Amino acid sequence: MKTRTPWIPDAPILISQAATAAPLASPSDAGPANIEDAIAEALKWDYTVQFAHNFALRDELYFDVIFNAEIAEPNMGQTAATSGLLLEHFLIELPDETGMMRLSGRNQSGGPQSQWPLITVQDQVWDHQSDSPADHVLKDEKEWWQVSHCFENVEDPLSFFGHMTLTWRHLDFRQRQTANLSLFVKQIVKIVADGETKESIYQTGALRFASPVIPSISRSQTRPLKPAATLAQTLHGIFNAIAPTQVLDCHLRVVLLYEHQLAGASFRATIPIMLSDYPAFEPSSVPTIASMIAQNAAAWYKVTAPSTAGAVLTMRLTLFKIVGRQQLPLVQIDAISILGVPKEPEWWNGPA
């Protein structure tokens, strides 16, 4: 049997990755929310990775988080490229102090990373706050930003850090639509031979998940919204806030409903206004889509003349991404409610 050279590091093991909707903040009693704030909150998502590594002394664990990578086409054998590839680099080291972890980060341009991942080890969570200072260091002729943390009750550090979970939280869907992780281990060994100390570097191959994960954000509702000066402006604000800036081939589906209080009844009436589909949805198409929906809704309002008692406009919205011949639902919001809908015709048919 071949004996493994003791200073060659073991390869890490990728276990799982997941993209999930970020938890929403508790609703407040402050009344209707600003459109951009409410939509931005609903679009946040978390990227979580689990991996294992048999640590040895002097191991350096490098990992890159990769956003907006290409998405493999399982049936067609092709790829659908997303624009705006984003990379951030990280390095984990275990200093000689028991329980200590040192985390370094940098972005693809050499500046500081956008955020530190939350690190969970043995049910202990290290959540480095962004307002805490990070040391600016030079390593391998590259600038890194560095923070440290001491985990508690660590008897055997190499075993304790053998399984980790990394989480990047509250990612902006409009900027980051896919995520993947690549990692490798490097070990620097000093060998004394013939009275001379030589430094050797041993490195594993880089490992990456077979394909990126795509977040699927499903919300039952957003915080209620306050209307803008016109319906067209209100819709423009909603669509502009959800339009992704880094993804192509999106398809938007909109259902618009009108609700009002029935006189003498304890329940409300719901009237469907329209269902519309808009292929090739992107920021440049927002003004046209908002104006079209507003014009159709204004025509419906003029003909129907519904009760205005407690009037609420509610939108159901689904954003799909086209991958090959499939529509993948990226964002689904069952209820975006616009409270205090004005009854004046000028609001319904006013300009965007």
Contacts 24+ apart (CB under 8 A), 36-39: 36/237, 36/240, 36/241, 38/222, 38/223, 38/225, 38/336, 39/222, 39/238, 39/241, 39/242, 39/336
**What local confidence, expressed as pLDDT, does residue 132 receive?**
66
Both tokens assigned to 299 = 């025509």
CA distances from 100 to 143, 145, 201, 257, 269 (A): 22, 17, 23, 56, 61
CA distance 54 to 64: 19
**What local confidence, expressed as pLDDT, does residue 158 receive?**
85
The neighbour count for residue 218, using CB atoms within 10 Å, is 13
User: In terms of Cα–Cα distance, which of 87, 97, 156 is closest to 121?
Assistant: 156
What residue segments make up the domains of the chain, in order of their start? 13-208, 217-349
Both tokens assigned to 225 = 């919204």
Question: Is the four-CA dihedral 236, 241, 242, 246 of positive or negative sign?
Answer: positive
What digits encode the pLDDT tens for the residues 200-227? 778 899 999 999 998 989 999 998 998 9
Contact between residue 105 and residue 61 where contact means Cβ atoms under 8 Å apart: no
Beta-carbon contacts of residue 287 (< 8 Å; ≥ 6 apart): 236, 352
Strands 326-338 and 217-219 come out as parallel
Beta-carbon contacts of residue 132 (< 8 Å; ≥ 6 apart): 147
pLDDT in tens, the chain (352 residues): 344 455 677 889 999 999 999 998 776 655 677 898 899 999 999 999 999 999 887 889 999 999 988 765 443 333 444 457 899 999 999 988 889 999 999 999 999 999 999 999 999 999 987 656 788 888 878 899 999 999 999 988 888 999 999 999 999 998 898 999 999 999 877 666 666 766 777 889 999 999 999 898 999 999 899 899 999 999 999 999 998 876 667 899 999 999 998 887 778 899 999 999 998 898 999 999 999 999 999 999 999 999 999 899 999 999 998 776 778 888 999 999 999 899 999 999 988 7
Chain centroid to Cα 128, Å, comes to: 18
**What local confidence, expressed as pLDDT, does residue 4 receive?**
46
**What local confidence, expressed as pLDDT, does residue 164 receive?**
97
What digits encode the pLDDT tens for the residues 226-247? 899 999 999 999 999 998 876 6
Burial of 83 (0-12, 13-18, 19+ CB in 10 A): exposed
What digits encode the pLDDT tens for the residues 260-285? 988 877 788 999 999 999 988 989 99
Burial of 332 (0-12, 13-18, 19+ CB in 10 A): middle
**What local confidence, expressed as pLDDT, does residue 131 receive?**
56
Contact between residue 258 and residue 338 where contact means Cβ atoms under 8 Å apart: no
pTM as predicted: 0.85
Both tokens assigned to 319 = 């954003």
> Any idea which residue has 């990394």 for tokens?
166
Percent of the chain with pLDDT over 90: 58
Please compute Rg for the chain using Cα positions: 26
Paired residues of 199 in beta bridges: 190
Contact between residue 129 and residue 76 where contact means Cβ atoms under 8 Å apart: no
**What local confidence, expressed as pLDDT, does residue 239 receive?**
95
Contact between residue 65 and residue 179 where contact means Cβ atoms under 8 Å apart: yes
